[in-house]
Chains A and B, each alone.
Chain A
Amino acid sequence: DAGVIQSPRHEVTEMGQEVTLRCKPISGHNSLFWYRQTMMRGLELLIYFNNNVPIDDSGMPEDRFSAKMPNASFSTLKIQPSEPRDSAVYFCASSRDTYNSPLHFGNGTRLTVT
């Protein structure tokens, strides 16, 4: 069982650049989540999808952030333009069901914006 796969593991970019984070959920899971983790705010839900459809994006910080899920096996989180305050670890997670089902997390992408 491959688990949730995220890429890249580390990303260092300059302020103003576009950043794209990628996620492959566990096969058969129909919900996908993007979280951000920082020392200041802990784990924050950014957006989640059910059956490839965005259900709740109220956690997305601002219009610079966008997420897509073109099919059941792939999702992207894009930041354009990036800013230093976006520096964090971004986690993707998937779950089998929409309710009463644990989330399975990838190992995250550590983003540093200089």
Chain B
Amino acid sequence: GESVGLHLPTLSVQEGDNSIINCAYSNSASDYFIWYKQESGKGPQFIIDIRSNMDKRQGQRVTVLLNKTVKHLSLQIAATQPGDSAVYFCAENTAYNNNDMRFGAGTRLTVKP
């Protein structure tokens, strides 16, 4: 029979373009958010985090934006490279859950050379 699995959103970009990956979260009490990158055969790798008292944070080639009003998180990758091809997860955490981190389904980013 047909297997049913998570349908990962996909994003395909040209090398050198900017990428924007979006994430909606549901818990309005969440106050700490993280983006992870997972390459094939590896565990999720920490990219950048943001606390709820901020709406923007920048790292090396990456920027995370947080919109608490609409419970939306985004990851922007500047000058996307082939090595950026991976599945990207957002994760949320609340003090109430004491570091019980919940992950989204993920978005698959493919970078075309």
The interface of chain A, by Cβ under 8 A from chain B, is 4, 31, 33, 39-43, 45, 48, 50, 55-56, 91, 93, 95, 97-108
Contacts and interface: CB of A to CB of B under 8 A. Distances in A.
A11 B48 CA distance: 32
B98 A40 contact: no
Main secondary structure of the interface of B (DSSP, over half): loop
Interface of B: 3-6, 32, 34, 36, 41-46, 49, 51, 89, 91, 93, 95, 98-106
**5 closest cross-chain pairs (CB), A and B:** A105-B43, A39-B5, A43-B103, A102-B46, A98-B99
A45 B101 contact: yes
Given A39-B5, A103-B34, A108-B42, 18 more contacts: A4-B43, A33-B101, A39-B3, A39-B6, A40-B6, A41-B6, A43-B89, A43-B103, A45-B100, A48-B100, A56-B100, A93-B43, A100-B32, A100-B51, A100-B93, A102-B34, A103-B46, A107-B43
Nearest to A59: B100
Given A40-B5, A40-B6, A42-B103, A98 B43 contact: no
7 contacts: A42-B103, A99-B32, A99-B95, A99-B98, A99-B99, A102-B34, A105-B36
Contacts of A108: 42-43
Contacts of B91: 103
Contact of B98 (A98, A102, A106): A98
A7 to B, nearest CB: 13
Contacts of A45: 100-102
Contacts of B3: 39
B101 A107 contact: no
A95 B101 CA distance: 11
Nearest to B104: A42
